Chain A
Amino acid sequence: MLHRDLAAHLVRGVEPERIFAQYMGRASGITGGRDGNVHFGDRRLGCVGMVSMLPDMMPVAAGMAMAFKLRGERRCALTWLGDGATSRGDFHEAMNWAALQRLPVIFVLENNQYAYSTPLRLQFAVDPVERAAAYGAVGQTVDGNDVEAVFAATLRARERALDGAGPTLIEAVTMRMHGHAAHDDMRYVPAEQLEHWRARDPIMLQQARLQAQGVDVEATRNAVAEQLDAALARALQQPLPDPASATEGVFCEGEAEPLGDGQAPYSGYAARGTDRV
């Protein structure tokens, strides 16, 4: 259940080639050209694609969690939202609902300082993570630029969820380093704010940590870049969708294909044979 966190899709096992194809509207993209950019989810991998109305995926994630709970499955749902999405009613309805029913669900709030051009101070008087307690949920702030801190916070939230302790709202504090989209030159962001965050680049931080552990980051980086170049080249060869297929698939005919179990093949955690997230 995903929002803009592209890395999460990769961890779930979405091939980079299909992501490139998705962005270029190719037939082999994850939505086959029916939707663009990060608006996708590979159902076989247990992912439900987001929609543009935010945070619509919060109630949906709560509903998945309801089903897991009803069926007695040791499984939880997770979804992302941004700071902007906390102002809409679905944030309230989902927080209230999930806490009331003590659902195994995790809401990851990427607080990146801006909803398009609107800064936090024009969005709310009370930080959303503080609201969590008012609903009867756990709210936890974490350094959103520290990969391992985010992982640890998510793991704790997941254990709480699986123990029947209800939902967690994780606020990952970070910064949006680019415009809302390609057209946005971000003139509304003060230069010193960007500088402050540039010094806290999450990839640099993690790289330094790995290097201190003796990992050859440069070699990995080169290998990944090579893979990505090859994936992009392949994606560029993929055809655009057939216009004759534009009206197909509005309705499901026949049996419903289920959502995948959400195993994450590229997660070292999953490889250790623990429960799925």
Chain B
Amino acid sequence: MTYLQAISDGLREELRADERVFLMGEDIAVLGGAFKVTDGLAAEFGRERVIDTPLAESAIVGTAIGAAVVGMRPVCEMQFADFISCGFDQLVNVAGKMHYRQRLAVPLTIRLPSGGGFSGGPFHSQNPEAWFMHAPGLKVVAPATASDAKGLLIAAIHDPNPVLFFEHKHLYRRIKEDVAPGRFETPFAARVAREGRDLTVVAYGAMVWSALEATADLDGASIEVLDLRSLVPLDERAILHSVRKCSKLVIVDEANATCAAGAQVAALVAEHAFEHLDGPVVRVATPDVPIAFSPPLERALLPQVEQIKEACRELLEY
């Protein structure tokens, strides 16, 4: 099952199991979504539970909040993660602050197809996870594997809080594995993608695969790859445990570098694992530049396998 099919499968399981669950988004019913994640769901569950909405991201998020506070479990699709900027206010000011102010839960899931690597250009390639890490009251997850895509999605739908589910477009059809049938939850915690002793690479989303490829054979060094899976909550224990074990840390972000998830990881390690480090914390991230359209420009911006390899090599020699 592909990463994309795993997401569809998770949606189907929840629609079957819980009548409070419904989906809404632009072009998700008749078309099955721009990426076909919701293909066939309208036919199976009806147009009342798989709703084609007007092109109105603020209203998609806002109405989902309203439905959630009266006991529904809405799952919204942003056609591209980039478009969440149009629903930012509802998410950050209404959903994120609701429970703190009024003890009123907002069990809302928003699916955000994110990431670049296929010439999507500045408005179809972004990784805006950190916008929401900075806003209190929102959970943020970003699966790398098909199983985690399904398990984290189901956990997000079950969670009584607003959860932003960043699904990486470049993994949709590239990643394939056996995924357990039925309903299962993946915890909002990190996963060791490969165990190692000499150096830790922290990554999430598509960068987990780049990190694994870059460190598969690095002059015999033993490299641990930690897949964060969840950015809020951030699995601080797992990060610190891995860094204390390996003493060297490379952090890979597909997002723009400043204040990205990786910056938070670097700050955490500087505060709590400084004495365990045998070298500087090294970051590989997209520079603070919009994601360019033309392939050589885009490649020059997004972290490449060779860059990660080089960063690891240099740190190992430090």
Given A59-B62, A259-B69, answer yes or no on A100-B54 (Cβ-Cβ < 8 Å). yes
User: A67-98 CB contact bits vs B (8 Å, 1 = yes)?
Assistant: 11010000001000000000001100110110
* B56 CB → nearest A CB, Å: 4
B282 at the interface (CB under 8 A from A): no
- Chain B residues near A40 (CB, 8 Å)? 101-102
Are B64 and A63 interface neighbours, CB within 8 A?
yes
Are A256 and B160 interface neighbours, CB within 8 A?
yes
Are A90 and B62 interface neighbours, CB within 8 A?
yes
Complex Cα spacing A41 to B66, Å = 14
Are B100 and A90 interface neighbours, CB within 8 A?
no
Given A90-B59, A97-B59, answer yes or no on A43-B104 (Cβ-Cβ < 8 Å). yes
Are B101 and A59 interface neighbours, CB within 8 A?
no
Given A49-B101, A250-B136, answer yes or no on A59-B160 (Cβ-Cβ < 8 Å). no
User: A136-180 CB contact bits vs B (8 Å, 1 = yes)?
Assistant: 000000000000000000000000000000000000000000000
A56 at the interface (CB under 8 A from B): yes
Given A51-B94, A93-B59, answer yes or no on A257-B67 (Cβ-Cβ < 8 Å). no
Complex Cα spacing A53 to B99, Å = 17
Are B161 and A251 interface neighbours, CB within 8 A?
yes
B18 at the interface (CB under 8 A from A): no
Complex Cα spacing A52 to B161, Å = 21
- Chain B residues near A93 (CB, 8 Å)? 54, 56, 58-59, 62
User: A56-68 CB contact bits vs B (8 Å, 1 = yes)?
Assistant: 1111111111111
B72 (CB) vs chain A CBs: closest residue: A67
B22 at the interface (CB under 8 A from A): yes
Complex Cα spacing A175 to B62, Å = 29
- Chain B residues near A259 (CB, 8 Å)? 69-71, 104
> Which of A238-273 touch B at CB < 8 Å?
249-259
User: B55-97 CB contact bits vs A (8 Å, 1 = yes)?
Assistant: 0101101111111111110100000000000000110011001
Complex Cα spacing A57 to B48, Å = 23
* B264 CB → nearest A CB, Å: 17
Give the contact-size bracket for chain B.
Answer: 35 or more
Are A255 and B160 interface neighbours, CB within 8 A?
yes
Complex Cα spacing A93 to B90, Å = 12
- Chain B residues near A77 (CB, 8 Å)? 66
Are B100 and A250 interface neighbours, CB within 8 A?
yes
B73 (CB) vs chain A CBs: closest residue: A256
Are A251 and B137 interface neighbours, CB within 8 A?
yes
B205 at the interface (CB under 8 A from A): no
B174 at the interface (CB under 8 A from A): no
A31-39, A115-123, A192-200, A221-229 - interface stretch:
A31-39
- Chain B residues near A62 (CB, 8 Å)? 59, 62-63, 66
Complex Cα spacing A41 to B65, Å = 15
Q: Quick one: which of B89, B98, B137 contacts A53, CB cutoff 8 A?
A: B89
* B163 CB → nearest A CB, Å: 10
B237 at the interface (CB under 8 A from A): no
Are B105 and A64 interface neighbours, CB within 8 A?
no
Are A43 and B102 interface neighbours, CB within 8 A?
yes
* A164 CB → nearest B CB, Å: 14
Are A251 and B99 interface neighbours, CB within 8 A?
yes
Are B62 and A251 interface neighbours, CB within 8 A?
no
Complex Cα spacing A94 to B67, Å = 14
Given A49-B101, A250-B136, answer yes or no on A64-B69 (Cβ-Cβ < 8 Å). yes
Given A59-B90, A251-B137, A257-B104, answer yes or no on A67-B56 (Cβ-Cβ < 8 Å). no
Q: A60-B66, A90-B90, A258-B70 given. 14 additional CB < 8 A pairs?
A: A30-B102, A56-B94, A59-B59, A60-B69, A63-B65, A63-B67, A67-B66, A67-B70, A70-B49, A90-B58, A251-B99, A252-B160, A259-B70, A259-B71
- Can you list 7 A-B contacts with CB-CB less than 8 angstroms, sorted by A residue number? A51-B94, A59-B62, A59-B90, A60-B62, A62-B66, A252-B106, A258-B70
Interface residues of A (CB under 8 A from B): 30-31, 34-35, 39-43, 48-49, 51-53, 56-68, 70, 77, 89-90, 93-94, 96-97, 100, 249-259
8 closest A-B pairs (Cβ-Cβ)? A63-B66, A59-B62, A63-B63, A256-B105, A93-B59, A252-B105, A256-B160, A64-B66
